[in-house]
Structure 1
Amino acid sequence: MPMPYQQYNFKPQTFDAQKKRPDLRLLYISHSSYDKTWPSVLHSHPFTELFYVLNGTGTFQTETQTFCIAADDLILINPHVMHTEFSNGDAALEYVVLGFEGIAFETDGHAPITCLCKNVKTIRPACLFYTRSLIQELHDRKENYVEMSQNLLENLLYLIRREIRVTPEAVSVGKTSQECRMIEQYINAHYAETITLDTLSALTFHSKYYIAHAFTKYKGISPINYLITRRIEEAKSLLEHTDFPVAKIAQAVGFSSQSYFSQAFRRETTLSPDAYRRQFLS
């Protein structure tokens, strides 16, 4: 009986020879089990992280989002996004984290994202293969381990790109945005003044669209929402430590009216300014 034979031919015309490979650099890979003694605090990195849950359940938190996470959930965290994770006591999280620079992620429609969580159970065997192989390569450091690790990382990201439909976008390796840092510092210093996208556009000599897009990638929040958050933080301090009336506090931190301030404060805290003060003083 003849041996079954199958052959699949590679078609060169389907390969874009001019397409440049991503300028990636793997920084680290870690395999961890959640330890209650480890402090879970919001933090950020100037590079991209991939967080892959192997076992357990918990929550993953950014400044603006909270996800319930479990086995086979994969979280993409773009640079400069504040984030942390918490484990459920009865089902401790076990996870792998990769840090790499050179790309960030956006939707297929080129909309900026800060942090994206998707379940990838359908590709679990492949994810385990690539992450375990990366750990082994970096542990053993045999000949050509750098090239092997680079190829494993690229293949893993291509697989993720295919599965959850995100687009990798090149970012300057090792460089943070000077304009975004300038915007952040300006807002921190002038939050009580009238600030619009036009103000920030004139400050940086960039278009409003560029500023909104770049700052959201840099900070994980739009510049106007960052301004509101900054004002709310200052308002909290005044509510806690002074007896100023709410209308005066609203004016002091830059809101155009007390009603707008109250709406924004409730969105951020779920409480009215008066209720927040009473809760703090009780």
Structure 2
Amino acid sequence: MQIKNFKIDQSLKELTEHRTVVLPMACYETTINQNIHGYIPLHWHEEIQLVLIVKGEAVFQINEDSITVREGQGLFINSGCLHMAEEKDRSGCVYICLNVSPHFVLSQELYTTFVYPYIQATNLPYVQLESKEPWGENILAAILNIHQLLQRKPPFYEISITVQLTLIWQNLIMNGFQPEYDATEMQKSHRIKQMLQWIHTHYTEKIRLDDIAKAGQLSRSECCRYFNRILKTTPLSYVTEYRIQKSLVLLQQADSNVTEVAYRVGFNSTSYFIDKFRKSMRITPLAYKKSKTEARP
């Protein structure tokens, strides 16, 4: 299953339902450049995520960190962590993505002791998975096994998947990942999500820096530090980029025009929209619209 139009709510929580008919999980191949945005936009979800790069390489941003992951390598991304991904050097990156409800990792009797402390840990937003480490190789092989089991669906494949998940989790927690809890870090995560949710609710309106800072209960300067540290941009630059990304779907509608779209996503000047769109997408809005409408069968 290739998710080409990544759906997230106003708080950046992904809306895709991560489950098969009977299992609270999903496993699919993702080709990054086939996404409508050209990359996987910033989002979060309650499921844990495991990634195995099968072609090319990608740069993942997870909370404040940027990590390059190459073919044959992988990642564990913890529950609730903000993350995004883009391919590196036009490598045509493809990766297997496995999203699993934390409650499905182990039995309920073991969940409280061996899962919950780790998904709540503030020192464990992600773990890089390397095939040169035996425990990393075990996890990467298990991700591939689960992907194949879900494709082939042999008899009792659901039980085989639970065995593979137990193997993944055992290898993770047995290799030095001691959970720590920092209330300040939890508060930072909560505040950035509050500010992003406010932007995503009000992006069609006039937005001031004071408004964004107020949503996160921060001063203007501290608000800017949050965005610079976590998102590597300024609050108002993020607003502009978010508006441009929202315009992509509208521009693909046959009856839309550039001026209408500009005002619908919060720009108060068509020329300013065109300028910012060109700098971001390296194409004009009209050229983008024509390329997408002409590509349809």
Unaligned runs of 5+ in 1: 1-24, 169-208
Return the alpha-carbon distance in structure 2 between the equivalents of residues 36 and 273 of structure 1.
Answer: 27
Return the alpha-carbon distance in structure 2 between the equivalents of residues 87 and 156 of structure 1.
Answer: 26
- Asked if residue 166 in structure 1 is aligned to residue 177 in structure 2, the reply is yes
What SS does the corresponding residue of 1:35 show, helix, strand or coil?
helix
Q: Mark the structure with the bigger radius of gyration.
A: 1
Return the alpha-carbon distance in structure 2 between the equivalents of residues 241 and 262 of structure 1.
Answer: 20
CA spacing shift, 1:160–1:31, aligned 2, 3 Å: farther
* CA deviation after TM superposition for structure 1 residue 51, in Å: 1.5
- Conserved? CA contact 1:78–1:115, under 8 Å: yes
Q: Please say which of residues 52-61 and 64-73 is displaced more in the overlay.
A: 64-73
What SS does the corresponding residue of 1:143 show, helix, strand or coil?
coil
TM-score where L is the length of structure 1: 0.51
1:194-241 Cα deviation digits (max 9, x unpaired): xxxxxxxxxxxxxxx8xx76xx9xxxx623553367469979x89x94
* CA deviation after TM superposition for structure 1 residue 57, in Å: 1.7
What SS does the corresponding residue of 1:265 show, helix, strand or coil?
helix
CA spacing shift, 1:73–1:231, aligned 2, 3 Å: same
Aligned residues: 199
| 2:242 alignment partner in structure 1 | none
| 1:182 alignment partner in structure 2 | none
1:167-206 Cα deviation digits (max 9, x unpaired): 69xxxxxxxxxxxxxxxxxxxxxxxxxxxxxxxxxxxxxx
Mapping 1:141-152, distance limit 5 Å: 141-152=153-164
1:245-269 Cα deviation digits (max 9, x unpaired): x9xx49x938999xx5325424534
Return the alpha-carbon distance in structure 1 between the equivalents of residues 236 and 35 of structure 2.
Answer: 36
CA spacing shift, 1:230–1:120, aligned 2, 3 Å: same
Return the alpha-carbon distance in structure 2 between the equivalents of residues 29 and 35 of structure 1.
Answer: 18
- Conserved? CA contact 1:26–1:150, under 8 Å: no
- Conserved? CA contact 2:30–2:95, under 8 Å: yes
Return the alpha-carbon distance in structure 1 between the equivalents of residues 99 and 34 of structure 2.
Answer: 23
Higher share in strand: 1
Return the alpha-carbon distance in structure 2 between the equivalents of residues 128 and 78 of structure 1.
Answer: 16
2:190 corresponds to which of 220, 226, 244? 226
Return the alpha-carbon distance in structure 1 between the equivalents of residues 215 and 45 of structure 2.
Answer: 30
* CA deviation after TM superposition for structure 1 residue 107, in Å: 6.2
Return the alpha-carbon distance in structure 2 between the equivalents of residues 162 and 275 of structure 1.
Answer: 42
* CA deviation after TM superposition for structure 1 residue 125, in Å: 5.1
Amino acid at match of 2:28: S
- Conserved? CA contact 1:105–1:112, under 8 Å: no
1:119-175 Cα deviation digits (max 9, x unpaired): 412146544542333223222222221111211221233233344x3369xxxxxxx
Amino acid at match of 1:59: V
Return the alpha-carbon distance in structure 2 between the equivalents of residues 154 and 95 of structure 1.
Answer: 22
CA spacing shift, 1:105–1:52, aligned 2, 3 Å: farther
Return the alpha-carbon distance in structure 1 between the equivalents of residues 137 and 215 of structure 2.
Answer: 53
Return the alpha-carbon distance in structure 2 between the equivalents of residues 232 and 158 of structure 1.
Answer: 35
Amino acid at match of 2:170: Y
Q: What is the root-mean-square deviation of aligned Cα atoms in Å? A: 4.7
TM-score where L is the length of structure 2: 0.49
Amino acid at match of 2:224: F
- Conserved? CA contact 1:46–1:79, under 8 Å: yes
Mapping 1:210-225, distance limit 5 Å: 222-224=186-188
- Asked if residue 253 in structure 1 is aligned to residue 214 in structure 2, the reply is yes
| 2:148 alignment partner in structure 1 | 136
| 1:31 alignment partner in structure 2 | 29
- Conserved? CA contact 1:255–1:261, under 8 Å: no
Mapping 1:63-102, distance limit 5 Å: 63-101=63-101, 102=103
Return the alpha-carbon distance in structure 2 between the equivalents of residues 30 and 272 of structure 1.
Answer: 33
CA spacing shift, 1:31–1:223, aligned 2, 3 Å: same
- Conserved? CA contact 1:26–1:153, under 8 Å: no
